[in-house]
């Protein structure tokens, strides 16, 4: 707490005390110092990196991040020339300077849409033309294209970042994956420091711009954590000399119910047929006779049992009445609803010559399709203050409060709901699913037990998870200009995230009723009841907190000589991340009066159903992790004659990586780069090309995973043994002294261009990545006693790709039509695998995991070759090139790695989007079309082992082999009994289920109207816009013929269409 | 003035950097996780051995799946979900394919943990507490021997003195380094190593009273008795059994046990020397029906007839007599087995009367009070058969029957045993000394190590 109170104090001080003016002009013996600000006339934003020269001399300087400059003149009769790329140069007659020597220079841009682009590495802001690396800038306009509640989703389809909806793979990938088994998430930098909290909690309306650092020259400054790319997020700030400005953004969104019928499932009637078939085979006998577990049997099976025992004679009629019932339909109608989101953000900013401030408050309220409620309040502030021309201070505080209340579970997550279940009975009351066999429950406990049915329609209202989270970030930075372009700065940031999760299962929830019943003893003779668990709710609480401290001291050097511009930084950094968590459970919990009951955790009690002695679950745990990093870094760029640019950076990181000697903890990473601005050459005189820059970089980034160890490490279990009371520990890390850090080399080439009249502007990049010593899970002899796979440095990989981002103005008259093309191509392959394994089955891959095979992408699809069905409907594979149905052998030694069939990359190799925008008067309409090509997926089909176990399968069931001759037109195996799991595994991992994922989708369409500015001005309003947006519009074209959206396979459902409407204004 | 200022700033920066870098080493020595540690105390090692989930629960008993103590109906066999479960019943090929219950892996995980403890036990806290150190070392040796012995009994042929030095045994893993390739030692070498571990264990095991989930000296003697019995070394087996009984000869009187509980035999009861348990799908009482021949062997006054069995609706019998007090099977060591080993060895060595007396000591506690008639005056073969029958009746579902069938078929002093399975119209038969008495090693192990598979 103490850490940030001080900052708040300082922060407020800055906000309110900055009116105290300090004279900006100082007269020294030899001349006068002029200070000024360079601003863009159109955007009213400060221009950083503009060149300021005294006409007729070689004396010059450059504006800083705030557009400020300071220059020493011999006398006031001299003039200044201010130039900035993309803007008309301006000559300033200093007679116009106000009496204290402060001037404001307004520059007009050549092209109204060309913006001065500043890229941020998190350590420094640089004008884009001075960098050689691959920086992708996402401006504020782009961030506001989508109406969504997270920053992450605002980047989707608008950048070269690959988004993956699959559950198993990393969700956000920059330039293909760089690590086989390590962390794959990009590093998020928020206002100069790594953000460790939940990225989704940041209010996107507070974001000014985002820079994506893609190559080593851009990212190596972030060292070992930058191996997967870096996303630098900068929140909005005010400028000096800016009048008070208030802006408001407010919108509402409605989201359609997701379509459960997208799930590919066999019909309830088919499922009933399977149950009848299994019953005829005696499949349910062991369950029916299981007096020890009394497993639940579906109503159809119970009817069949009654029919067999001669207890009823209308079973068929009753069973047929179930055939038209659909759990899906029932769930969709009763549980799902239209989602609603509202977002409001208001911010104000202003500043004078000494200080400026920005304040914003945002609210997001979500009431989703499952009835979950998610609210978020964000407060963000930023302030800058200049004590004098040399000493500057920046500080910021942001606070996020998020509250979440759970709704219903997804349909897919509730396996216990059988396909012909209806959530309510004809009388409207909730229908239940017994946890044990119904005939058993009808008499069990002689009425002394609680209801032992699960009611899907209402249970979620009795089992509520509440999650409250708070994030606090407080930062302060001080900068002091030393001399001759040197300045020193110190920055500190404190970040804290606290989360409280409480799960309350009240007495009506099945969780609580089940546990109470389980520990109830009913004496068979006397009928006496003993409840070993108190009547009342069960409350599970867990608390987590994470605190990070970041401190940095940095020396900057900026030189503006006649021919040279030098920007260099060097610094030292310390970071620590401390996470703590604890959780516990209360029985007999009354949340209203906060009372709990004692239970006996020490003695086991006989459980109701089978009498086995069990202990009452004791759930308490404590945890603490601490990661520490120490780093030194250096980054320098030299621009010669405004044409040639040379950059270099280096960094060493050390961490408390467990089991590594301190000396080995340091990891050096570096990069070099060069660029050539061709259009600045005298010989270049092609007027059609306004600017052209060629650039190339080379460098290394790394990756570290703190969970890998070089020594044997043991981990204590949080609780002692319930049997013995002794403390227990297990070997959690197997000694591997050869463990090394993963390393990535990236070579990048880029071209930035801008055609005359802005016809087209953009960049084209090509890169080559090489990863060595990558962590990977490799199969290990189970006899070694460390499991089936072990993670070590196992492989090298190579990747290359092309990225293209071009915006062209196709029509630029009264109607304006512009088009942005974003295209990414990425190919990666494993080049070396240190271990050789021969057995094919270890490398079967549906694309959800990484099993390195030399020459193939890291996420590949590998299947067994498929030879169709034989004449009795069995799927056939190959052993030594002959068709075979010996599945044990195919899955075992019969299939070598070379016998597998490569099904393609599991991640798109070509992807991107087209964004078309048409403007006419105040109207703007834009549409985003996304595409993904060059990849495959495995279509889920039918697994009879799972089907017999009660898990509903694909509608492929209807097209299965049923009689001889069917093998000519179907690949779907016959249903045989008993199911042979090896046969099922073979078929579901066979080439017959590989499908192409290529598709094109319409991501969103936006329509907005900006009110006439002159009209607004008369009302004192700068801008007023009304906008609407429709997103999740679905697929326009797909290659697969199965109606599958390749972004949503295996139990995932595409989100419903979202309709938004909102206003945005500032005054 | 400029210069002095310059120096001042540089000096300050330099000083600051220096302070920070020298502080680094200490700063970086912080553990990333609080509950994570390199084993550095005897307490840490003891905690590794006390980890019940690896050392006591979920133990291997796959060999029981192939015995003649139970049978499955065709419907129940068909309804088994895993191919491996079905295979285990008919002595088929792959046992653990797709199965969460990979018992090969479970056993070698114990060996690994024991090896880690043995590698650290002499390094930590030098000079401290020799009694505790020896106890931990002895326990680790016991656990390694027990796991190796279970693997040997399951995945290798029976011991035959003529061929043991050539017959393939099992991979012996004596170091924790997982990069050392596995190879099969001979059966003779395996017995030698297991007995070396156990005798070393005995030599340093302090006698302390602890929870039976921890190994003890009495348990180590008991295991030695079992190992020698399977090696047909009756002299040493008898000696070990007697040593074990000296430390613990408790027997429960079954007359005092309440038969109304679902699982009447209490967990951690006074007969138990080392407690561990496990399960295998085909053996669970809701599918496994007790062999009718076995059930008919109990006399009416035998309390085990009701304490060990429940009657299914169709009259078949289900096992409920686990010493684990649950549906899981007791797979540890208990005094009842040691009495039976002692009795068998005495008879085999010619002391028939003392052997029968030992048996009487056990059985009198198993019959209704006052109904047991002491056995005596039997000839050697009958006495031996009686004891073997008592082993079946007393020790079923304890992962012992498979070992017994194997050694009895080699030994040939009694009628050889052939096991038959009938599933629908198919009949399966396992003849004496069939190579399939050594279960198939998981294919993935064969393919990664290149060790030889057991012939089928």
- For residue range B295-345, what is the model confidence (pLDDT) as tens digits? 999 999 999 999 999 998 889 999 999 999 988 999 999 999 999 999 999
Query: Which residues in chain B have Cβ-Cβ distances shorter than 8 Å to A715?
Result: 33, 35-37
Q: What is the pLDDT of residue A840?
A: 82
Q: What is the pLDDT of residue A420?
A: 96
Query: Which residues in chain B have Cβ-Cβ distances shorter than 8 Å to A730?
Result: 48, 51, 53-54, 113
User: Comparing B17 with A279, which gets the higher pLDDT?
Assistant: A279
- Check: CB of residue A213 under 8 Å from CB of residue A229: yes
B54 close contact with A: CB closer than 8 A: yes
B73 close contact with A: CB closer than 8 A: yes
Query: Which residues in chain A have Cβ-Cβ distances shorter than 8 Å to B93?
Result: 888
Query: Which residues in chain A have Cβ-Cβ distances shorter than 8 Å to B36?
Result: 658, 713-715, 732-733
B12 close contact with A: CB closer than 8 A: no
* pLDDT tens-digit series, residues B47-103: 999 999 999 999 999 999 999 999 999 999 999 988 899 999 999 988 887 677 889
Max Cα separation, chain A?
116
Query: Which residues in chain A have Cβ-Cβ distances shorter than 8 Å to B17?
Result: 553, 572
**Cα distance between residue A773 and residue A796, in whole Å:** 6
Mean pLDDT of A96-108: 67
Mean pLDDT of A502-527: 92
3-state secondary structure A949-1004: CCCCCCHHHHHCCCCCCHHHCCCCCCCCCCCCHHHHHHHHCEHHHEEECCEEEEEE
Q: In chain A, which among 928-947 make CB contacts under 8 A with chain B?
A: 945
Q: What is the pLDDT of residue B230?
A: 97
* pLDDT tens-digit series, residues A529-580: 899 999 999 999 999 999 999 999 999 998 888 888 899 999 999 999 999 9
Q: A129 CA to chain B: closest CA distance, Å?
A: 31
- Average pLDDT score, chain A: 86
Q: Is the pLDDT of residue A364 over 80?
A: yes
Q: Is the pLDDT of residue B45 over 70?
A: yes
Q: A619 CA to chain B: closest CA distance, Å?
A: 17
- Closest partner CB to A482 (pick from B9, B35, B449): B9
- Check: CB of residue B41 under 8 Å from CB of residue B124: yes
**Cα distance between residue A359 and residue A399, in whole Å:** 12
- Closest partner CB to B20 (pick from A574, A612, A788): A574
- Please indicate whether, in this complex, the C-beta atoms of B28 and A788 are within 8 angstroms of each other: no
- Check: CB of residue B383 under 8 Å from CB of residue B389: no
Highest averaged pLDDT of the listed ranges A281-285, B7-11, B98-102, B386-390? B386-390
**Cα distance between residue A347 and residue B209, in whole Å:** 72
**Cα distance between residue A718 and residue A623, in whole Å:** 8
Q: Tell me phi and psi for residue A695, to 5 degrees.
A: -145, 155
Q: Is the pLDDT of residue A655 over 80?
A: no
Per residue in A92-121, is it b (16+ CB within 10 Å) or e — as a string?
bebeebeeebbbbbebebeeeebbbbbbbb
B123 close contact with A: CB closer than 8 A: no
Lowest pLDDT segment from A482-491, A730-739, B111-120, B427-436: A730-739
Q: Is the pLDDT of residue B20 over 90?
A: no
Sign of CA dihedral B93, B97, B101, B107: positive
Q: Is the pLDDT of residue A707 over 70?
A: no
Residue corresponding to tokens 């249970």: A459
* pLDDT tens-digit series, residues A315-336: 999 999 999 999 999 999 999 9
Q: What is the pLDDT of residue A27?
A: 39
- Closest partner CB to A888 (pick from B93, B105, B287): B93
- Please indicate whether, in this complex, the C-beta atoms of A282 and B75 are within 8 angstroms of each other: yes
* pLDDT tens-digit series, residues A750-771: 999 998 877 899 999 999 999 8
What domains can be seen in chain B, in order of their start residue? 42-420+438-449 (1.25.40.390)
Per residue in B32-43, is it b (16+ CB within 10 Å) or e — as a string?
bbebbbbbeebe
- Check: CB of residue B173 under 8 Å from CB of residue A784: yes
Q: B358 CA to chain A: closest CA distance, Å?
A: 32
B286 close contact with A: CB closer than 8 A: yes
Max Cα separation, chain B?
117
| Lookup: tokens for A702 | 């790394």
- At A337, the pLDDT band (50, 70, 90 cuts) reads very high
Q: What is the pLDDT of residue B142?
A: 98
- At A378, the pLDDT band (50, 70, 90 cuts) reads very high
Sign of CA dihedral A884, A890, A894, A900: positive
- Closest partner CB to B28 (pick from A282, A628, A786): A628
- Please indicate whether, in this complex, the C-beta atoms of B28 and A665 are within 8 angstroms of each other: yes
Q: Which residue of B has its CA nearest to A656?
A: B28
Report the candidate in A218, A297, A368, A88 with the shortest Cα–Cα distance to residue A950. Answer: A297
- At A15, the pLDDT band (50, 70, 90 cuts) reads very low
Query: Which residues in chain B have Cβ-Cβ distances shorter than 8 Å to A285?
Result: 73, 75-76, 79
Q: N- to C-terminal Cα distance for chain B?
A: 94
A550 close contact with B: CB closer than 8 A: no
A638 close contact with B: CB closer than 8 A: no
Query: Which residues in chain A have Cβ-Cβ distances shorter than 8 Å to B449?
Result: 781, 783
Q: What is the pLDDT of residue A44?
A: 62
Overall residue count recorded for chain B in this entry:
456
- Average pLDDT score, chain B: 91
Q: What is the pLDDT of residue A1022?
A: 85
Q: Is the pLDDT of residue A7 over 70?
A: no
User: Comparing A107 with A516, which gets the higher pLDDT?
Assistant: A516
| Lookup: tokens for A526 | 């006397």
Per the rule left: phi > 0, alpha: psi between -120 and 50, beta: everything else, A296 is beta
Report the candidate in A730, A851, A717, A728 with the shortest Cα–Cα distance to residue A785. Answer: A730
Overall residue count recorded for chain A in this entry:
1067
Interface test with chain A among B6, B19, B26, B36, by most A beta carbons within 10 Å: B36
A787 close contact with B: CB closer than 8 A: yes
HSE-up of residue A869 (Cα within 13 Å, Cβ side) = 21
| Lookup: tokens for A753 | 């261009």
Query: Which residues in chain B have Cβ-Cβ distances shorter than 8 Å to A888?
Result: 83, 93-94, 97, 443
Q: Which residue of B has its CA nearest to A608?
A: B262
Distances in Å between the alpha carbon of A245 and those of A13, A192, A250, A344, A703?
Answer: 21, 25, 17, 17, 43
Distances in Å between the alpha carbon of A189 and those of A39, A148, A233, A493, A654?
Answer: 27, 21, 6, 12, 19
B258 close contact with A: CB closer than 8 A: no
- At A3, the pLDDT band (50, 70, 90 cuts) reads very low
Lowest pLDDT segment from A189-193, A346-350, A777-781: A777-781
B266 close contact with A: CB closer than 8 A: no
Q: What is the pLDDT of residue A836?
A: 62
Distances in Å between the alpha carbon of A73 and those of A30, A53, A340, A938, B266?
Answer: 8, 10, 61, 72, 98
Q: A736 CA to chain B: closest CA distance, Å?
A: 9
- Check: CB of residue A384 under 8 Å from CB of residue A351: yes
Q: Is the pLDDT of residue A991 over 80?
A: yes
- Please indicate whether, in this complex, the C-beta atoms of A285 and B76 are within 8 angstroms of each other: yes
Mean pLDDT of A5-13: 52
pTM for the full predicted model:
0.85
Q: Which residue of A has its CA nearest to B95?
A: A888
Q: In chain A, which among 700-759 make CB contacts under 8 A with chain B?
A: 706, 711-718, 721, 723-735
Mean pLDDT of A466-494: 92
Q: Nearest-5° angle of CA A203, CA A204, CA A208?
A: 115
Q: How many CB pairs under 8 A join A and B?
A: 276
């Amino acid at each position: 707490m103490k850490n940030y109170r001080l900052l708040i104090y300082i922060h407020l001080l800055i906000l309110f005390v900055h009116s105290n003016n300090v004279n900006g002009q100082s007269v020294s013996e030899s001349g006068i110092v002029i200070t000024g600000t360079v601003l863009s006339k159109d955007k009213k934003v400060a221009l950083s990196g503009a060149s300021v020269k005294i006409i007729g001399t070689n004396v010059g300087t450059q504006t800083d991040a705030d557009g400020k400059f300071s220059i020493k003149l011999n006398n006031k009769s001299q003039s200044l020339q201010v130039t900035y790329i993309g803007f008309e140069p301006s000559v300033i007659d200093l007679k116009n300077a106000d009496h204290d020597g402060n001037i404001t220079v307004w520059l007009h841009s050549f092209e109204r849409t060309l913006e001065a682009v500043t890229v941020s590495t998190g350590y420094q802001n640089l004008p884009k033309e001075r960098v050689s690396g691959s920086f992708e800038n996402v401006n504020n306009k782009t961030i506001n294209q989508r109406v969504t509640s997270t920053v992450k989703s605002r980047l989707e389809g608008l950048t070269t970042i690959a988004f993956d909806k699959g559950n198993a793979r990393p969700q956000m990938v920059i330039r293909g994956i760089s690590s086989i088994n390590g962390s794959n998430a990009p590093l998020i930098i928020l206002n100069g420091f790594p953000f460790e909290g939940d990225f989704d909690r940041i209010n996107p309306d507070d974001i000014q711009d985002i820079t994506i650092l893609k190559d080593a020259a851009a990212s190596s400054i972030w060292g070992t954590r930058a191996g997967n790319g870096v996303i630098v997020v900068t929140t909005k700030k005010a400028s000096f000399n800016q009048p008070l400005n208030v802006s408001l953004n407010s919108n509402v969104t409605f989201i359609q119910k997701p379509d459960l019928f997208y799930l590919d499932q066999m019909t309830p009637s088919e499922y009933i047929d399977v149950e009848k078939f299994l019953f005829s085979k005696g499949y349910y006998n062991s369950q029916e006779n299981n007096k020890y577990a009394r497993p639940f049997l579906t109503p159809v099976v119970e009817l069949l049992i009654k029919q067999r025992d001669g207890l009823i004679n209308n079973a068929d009629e009753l069973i047929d009445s179930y055939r038209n019932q659909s759990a899906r339909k029932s769930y969709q109608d009763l549980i799902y609803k239209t989602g609603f989101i509202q977002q409001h953000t208001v911010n104000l900013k202003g500043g004078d010559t000494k200080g400026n401030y920005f304040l914003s408050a945002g609210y997001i309220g979500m009431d989703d399709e499952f009835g979950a409620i998610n609210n978020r309040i964000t407060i963000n502030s930023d302030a800058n203050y200049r004590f004098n021309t040399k000493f500057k201070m920046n500080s910021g505080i942001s606070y996020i409060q998020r509250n979440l209340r759970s709704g219903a579970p997804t349909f897919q997550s509730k396996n216990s709901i059988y396909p012909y279940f209806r959530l309510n009975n004809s009388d409207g009351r909730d229908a239940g699913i017994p946890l044990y066999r119904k005939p058993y429950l009808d008499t069990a406990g002689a009425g002394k037990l609680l209801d032992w049915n699960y009611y899907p329609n209402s249970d979620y209202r009795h089992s509520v998870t509440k999650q409250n989270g708070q994030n606090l970030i407080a930062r302060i930075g001080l900068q002091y200009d030393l001399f001759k372009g040197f300045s020193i700065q110190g920055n500190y940031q404190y970040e804290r995230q606290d989360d409280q999760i409480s799960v309350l299962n009240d007495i009506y929830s099945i969780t609580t009723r089940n546990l109470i019943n389980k520990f109830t003893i009913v004496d068979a003779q006397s009928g006496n009841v003993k409840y070993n668990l108190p009547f009342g709710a069960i409350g599970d609480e867990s608390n987590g907190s994470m605190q990070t401290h970041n401190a940095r001291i940095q020396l900057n050097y900026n030189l503006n000589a006649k021919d040279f511009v030098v920007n260099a930084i060097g610094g030292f950094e310390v970071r620590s991340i401390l996470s703590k968590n604890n959780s516990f459970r209360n029985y007999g919990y009354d949340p209203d009066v906060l009372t709990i009951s004692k239970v006996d955790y020490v003695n086991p009690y006989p459980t109701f159903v089978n009498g086995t002695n069990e202990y009452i679950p004791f759930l308490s745990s404590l945890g603490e992790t601490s990661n520490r990093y120490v780093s030194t870094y250096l980054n320098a760029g030299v621009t010669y004659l405004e044409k040639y640019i040379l950059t270099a950076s280096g960094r060493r990181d050390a961490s408390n990586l467990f089991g590594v000697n301190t000396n080995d903890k340091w990891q050096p990473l570096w990069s070099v780069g060069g660029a050539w601005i061709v259009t600045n050459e005298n010989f270049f005189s092609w007027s059609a090309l306004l600017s052209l820059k060629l650039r190339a970089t080379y460098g290394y980034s790394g990756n570290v995973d703190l969970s890998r160890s070089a020594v044997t490490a043991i981990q204590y279990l949080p609780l002692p043994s319930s049997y013995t009371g002794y403390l227990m520990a297990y070997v959690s890390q197997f000694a591997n002294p050869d463990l090394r850090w993963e390393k990535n080399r990236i070579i990048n080439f880029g071209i930035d261009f801008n055609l005359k009249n802005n016809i087209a502007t953009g960049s084209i990049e090509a890169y080559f990545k090489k990863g060595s010593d990558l962590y990977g899970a490799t199969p290990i002899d189970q006899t070694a006693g460390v499991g089936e796979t072990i993670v070590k440095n196992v492989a090298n990989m190579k990747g290359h790709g092309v990225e293209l981002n071009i915006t062209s103005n196709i029509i630029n008259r009264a109607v304006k039509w512009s088009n942005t093309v974003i295209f990414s191509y990425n190919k990666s392959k494993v080049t070396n695998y240190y271990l050789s394994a021969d057995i094919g089955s270890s490398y079967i891959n549906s694309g959800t995991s990484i099993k390195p095979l030399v020459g193939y992408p890291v996420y590949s699809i590998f299947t067994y070759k498929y030879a169709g069905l034989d004449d009795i409907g069995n799927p056939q594979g190959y052993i030594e090139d002959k068709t075979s149905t010996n599945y044990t052998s195919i899955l075992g030694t019969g299939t070598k790695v070379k016998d597998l069939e490569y099904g393609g990359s599991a991640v798109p190799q070509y992807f991107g989007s087209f964004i078309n925008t048409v403007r006419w008067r105040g109207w703007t309409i834009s549409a985003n079309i996304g595409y993904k090509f060059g990849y495959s997926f495995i279509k889920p089909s039918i697994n009879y082992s799972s089907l017999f176990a009660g898990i509903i399968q694909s509608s492929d069931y209807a097209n299965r082999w049923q009689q001889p001759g069917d093998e000519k037109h179907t690949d779907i195996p016959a249903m045989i009994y008993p199911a042979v799991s090896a046969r099922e595994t073979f078929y579901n991992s066979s080439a017959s289920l590989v499908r192409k994922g290529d598709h094109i989708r319409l991501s969103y369409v936006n329509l907005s109207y900006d009110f006439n500015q002159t009209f607004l001005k008369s009302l004192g309003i700068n801008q007023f816009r009304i906008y609407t947006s429709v997103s999740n519009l679905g697929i326009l074209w797909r290659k697969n013929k199965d109606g599958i959206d390749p972004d949503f396979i295996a139990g995932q459902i595409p989100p419903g269409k979202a309709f938004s409407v909102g206003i945005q204004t500032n005054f | 003035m400029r210069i002095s200022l310059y120096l001042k700033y540089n000096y300050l920066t330099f000083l600051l950097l220096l302070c920070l870098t020298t502080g680094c080493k200490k700063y970086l020595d912080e553990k990333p996780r609080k509950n994570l540690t390199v084993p550095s105390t005897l307490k840490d090692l003891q905690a590794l051995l006390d980890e019940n989930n690896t050392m006591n629960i979920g133990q291997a008993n796959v060999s029981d799946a192939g015995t003649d103590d139970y049978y499955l109906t065709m419907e129940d066999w068909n309804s088994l979900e895993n191919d491996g479960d079905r295979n285990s019943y008919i002595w088929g090929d792959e046992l653990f394919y797709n199965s969460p219950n990979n018992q090969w892996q479970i056993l070698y995980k114990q060996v690994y943990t024991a090896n880690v403890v043995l590698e650290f036990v002499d390094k930590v806290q030098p000079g401290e507490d020799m009694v505790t150190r020896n106890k931990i070392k002895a326990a680790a040796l016991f656990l390694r021997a027990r796991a190796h012995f279970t693997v040997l009994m399951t995945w290798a042929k029976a011991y035959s003195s003529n061929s043991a030095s050539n017959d393939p045994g099992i991979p012996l893993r004596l170091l924790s380094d997982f990069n050392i390739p596995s190879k099969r030692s001979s059966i003779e070498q395996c017995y030698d190593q297991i007995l070396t571990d156990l005798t070393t264990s005995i030599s340093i095991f302090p006698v302390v009273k602890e929870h039976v989930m921890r190994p003890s000296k009495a348990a180590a003697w008991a295991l030695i008795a079992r190992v020698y019995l399977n090696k047909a070394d009756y002299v040493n087996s008898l000696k070990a059994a007697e040593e074990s009984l000296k430390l613990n000869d408790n027997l429960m009187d079954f007359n005092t046990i309440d038969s109304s509980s679902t699982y009447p035999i209490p967990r951690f009861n006074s007969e138990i020397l080392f407690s561990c348990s496990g399960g295998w799908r085909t053996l669970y009482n809701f599918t496994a029906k007790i062999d009718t021949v076995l059930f008919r062997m109990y006399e009416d006054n035998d309390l085990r007839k009701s304490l060990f069995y429940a009657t299914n609706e169709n009259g078949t019998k289900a096992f409920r007599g686990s010493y684990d007090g649950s549906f899981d099977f007791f797979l540890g060591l208990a005094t009842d087995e040691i009495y039976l080993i002692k009795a068998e060895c005495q008879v085999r060595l010619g002391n028939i009367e003392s052997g029968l007396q030992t048996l009487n000591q056990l059985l009198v506690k198993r019959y209704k009070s006052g109904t047991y008639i002491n056995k005596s005056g039997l000839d050697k073969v009958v006495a031996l058969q009686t004891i073997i029958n008592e082993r079946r009746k007393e020790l079923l579902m304890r992962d012992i029957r498979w070992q017994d069938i194997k050694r009895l078929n080699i030994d040939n002093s009694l009628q050889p045993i052939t096991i038959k399975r009938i599933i629908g119209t198919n009949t399966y038969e396992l003849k004496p000394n069939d190579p399939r008495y050594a279960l198939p090693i998981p294919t993935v192990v064969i393919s990664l190590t290149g060790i030889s598979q057991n012939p089928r």
